[in-house]
Structure 1
Amino acid sequence: MDLTLFAVTRALDVLVGELWSQRKTRRIASGQWTKIESSLSMLTDPSIFAGSCALIMWAWIYSPDRLPRSYNKWIKSAAAVDHRLLIALRRTRYGEIQYGLETGQAHLLQGMCKDYGWPMDFGDPVKSIPFPCEIVHMGTGKSCEYHALSRWIRSFAWAFSTYLPLNLVLVLRRPSKRAVKQAFQSSARSSAFLGTFISLFYYGICLARTRVGPSVIGTSIPARQHIDSGICVGAGCALCGWSTILENQSRRKELGLFVAPRALATLFPRRYVWEDQWKETLAFAISTAIVFTCVKERPERVRGVLGKLLHRVLLN
């Protein structure tokens, strides 16, 4: 299924890109091409990435089984979140935890209260309406802004310690001062991107829970329940992917095409029953035909590393 979604994503990218390119050519020729249309072209890849990440992060919180196990594990490692908080978010979403009602779930977050040294009432949905944002901060204090900043710093350090050794290994092929400098710059940029992604996700949750959400939706018990049962997570999911603006244009393109198939995988079954296997086969066959035909006719339309690889394999 993953291979099929990868092919479908590439085929859609080819078709939509070609239609938009033809439209752009006609509009420029007639002198009708506008700044808004130009801006839309520039925002396409960031929008694909942001939308895809929103679906992926939503699935990671509420239906992690829709993501590959290794991908799920990597996100959990990067997010550095207490698993009890994830469980609480899911139980609030599905009505097992309800503000103002005794449903026998207080022990879950009270375990966190004990570990982090908070009052036990913080974890009781009958006494704390809503749960304090300090629980989301997981030990960094009451300030949502300080928590977002501390998340950025920790995530940057974690990512930099991962990216830098990999980039330096690549430098060993042709070592030079310039290559080493570029390795540090590339590692720093990618680490800043990931740090911003994570901090925006958490700060989006805080914005919905304490900064903006109560002013818009209300402070009643039903409103608080509504915010914590999905709106707060949705806000974090919607914001995090826009961290891609920190990357250069070519990198944004690759990131968007990388996460899009994984986002689509959250919307479709991981495996079809035998009677429906033809759907997956047909989608793969049509998508592959579109991509291969475009490589032959309009090779520049198949973007990214895949386009270069297919061009080399099929045309050389």
Structure 2
Amino acid sequence: MQPFSARNPRGKSFEHGVPPVLRPILRAYVLGLAKWSSTFIAAWFSLKLLQSKKSDAYFENVYYETSQGQVLRPTHFAGRTLDLSLFAVMRALDVIIGEFWSQQKERRLATQTWSQVDRLIGTLADPAIFATSCALIMWAWIYTPDRLPRSYNKWIKSAAAVDPRLLEALRKTRYGEMKYGLETGQAYVLQAMCKDYSWPLDYGDPVKSIPFPCEMVHMGTGRNCEYHALSRFRRSFVWAISTYLPLNLILKVRKPSPKAFKIALKSSAQSSAFLGMFIALFYYGVCLGRTRLGPKIIGTDIVARRKMDSGICVGASCALCGWSVLIEDANRRKELGLFVAPRALATLLPRRYLPEHQWRETLAFATSVAVVFTCVNERPERVRGVLGKLLHRVLAQ
């Protein structure tokens, strides 16, 4: 087999006629396009291979209209690889937006137009990604938990330690099944809590209690919202550090030293404080929305109370809790933001869809992987986090 040569049949190079100053650009473009195309093709067929495996979780009996009436048929749905595809898409977006921002920064620094606002945007970008993602995830956990994987639901439920009857009441209020001032037959939900916590049964009656006392949200820690938030922080901190500290100490066993112990202790305390503040802000956000600030802004009549408890209080808590990530250091914020963003995006998309639309997911995945892998070769520093270091190490070999 003859070696490949960048010459045409007449023996002339394909660069013939191109000014010498532009030839390096042409070579870089052709080489970059070749790398991108080869990665795109490999990613396309790799995902198709994963998608070819059928799963019982993606089969459902669906009624179809026929000339003889409705017929029940087993139908296969796509979407099993959606999480992987969204992970690739978010990484590609991070690369593209990061490169654009880097070029903007270089130009503005060169012209001395880089402002404090630009610096602030750069600092808060990763925390904002994390906070927005957490808001979507926590909203889905309360109102549409089926949009989250079971592992996410289980972990959040364990960390939040919330009474499931309280979540049920929030959902019923959201969807109009439970309304203040109207007898809808749903008082039993919270009245069961009243019995367990030794509260008056009227606390759980939407006709008699407008609104439900915040004491019910506090679940036995008293009436003060601020004290409840502090108690949540303390409990969550203890729960988290009992997990983080042993793990961090195990990682330092290979090279034990006083410095390694201090690093493990600091990292564990920082991560535990972050999680404790996350949960405390989540609960306090509910209190802000329905007790502390909501009534002063929206009002105190029945209609206003319905609005606050049907979404505003939960929206406030979801928007607030993610900003606890500011407790973590910059590198950790970046990793956390890139980790939760794909899951947040998944809450906005259908978990299952018809197979004829699967090519869209495959196209998005292949394009994104091609962007990331090409960038690892050309600009490895642009692929951030542990993934970037790992890919650079693998592809450099």
Measured against the shorter chain, the TM-score band is over 0.9
Cα offset, 1:184, TM superposition: 1.1
Alignment of 1:210-225 (within 5 A): 210-225=291-306
Tell me the residue number matched to 2:256.
175
Alignment of 1:167-206 (within 5 A): 167-206=248-287
Tell me the residue number matched to 1:270.
351
TM-score, normalised to structure 1, is: 0.99
Tell me the residue number matched to 2:118.
37
Measured in 2, the distance between the counterparts of 1:298 and 1:72 equals 37
* Counterpart selection for 1:79 from 141, 151, 160: 160
Q: Which residue identity does 2:385 align to in structure 1?
A: G
Cα offset, 1:168, TM superposition: 1.1
For structure 1, list consecutive stretches of 5 or more residues without a partner in the other structure. none
Identity across the alignment (%):
73
Q: Describe the superposition over 1:31-60 as per-residue Cα deviations: whole angstroms up to 9, x where unpaired.
A: 111110011000000000000000000000
Cα offset, 1:84, TM superposition: 0.3
- CA-atom RMSD in angstroms: 0.6
Tell me the residue number matched to 2:17.
none
Cα offset, 1:272, TM superposition: 2.4
Cα offset, 1:175, TM superposition: 1.4
Cα offset, 1:187, TM superposition: 0.6
Tell me the residue number matched to 2:320.
239
Q: Which residue identity does 2:246 align to in structure 1?
A: P
Measured in 1, the distance between the counterparts of 2:269 and 2:304 equals 41
Runs ≥4 residues deviating over 6 A: none
The structure whose Rg is larger is 2
Measured in 1, the distance between the counterparts of 2:119 and 2:353 equals 40
Q: Which moved more, 1:263-272 or 1:207-216?
A: 263-272
* Counterpart selection for 1:259 from 340, 344, 350: 340
Tell me the residue number matched to 2:197.
116
Alignment of 1:60-99 (within 5 A): 60-99=141-180
Measured in 2, the distance between the counterparts of 1:315 and 1:89 equals 52
Cα offset, 1:183, TM superposition: 1.0
For structure 2, list consecutive stretches of 5 or more residues without a partner in the other structure. 1-81
Q: Which residue identity does 1:170 align to in structure 2?
A: L
* Counterpart selection for 2:383 from 289, 299, 302: 302
Cα offset, 1:271, TM superposition: 2.6
Measured in 2, the distance between the counterparts of 1:216 and 1:260 equals 31
* Counterpart selection for 1:155 from 236, 243, 250: 236
TM-score, normalised to structure 2, is: 0.79
Q: How many residues align?
A: 316
- 1:173 is paired with a residue whose SS is coil
Structure showing the higher strand proportion among its residues: 2
Q: Which residue identity does 1:282 align to in structure 2?
A: L
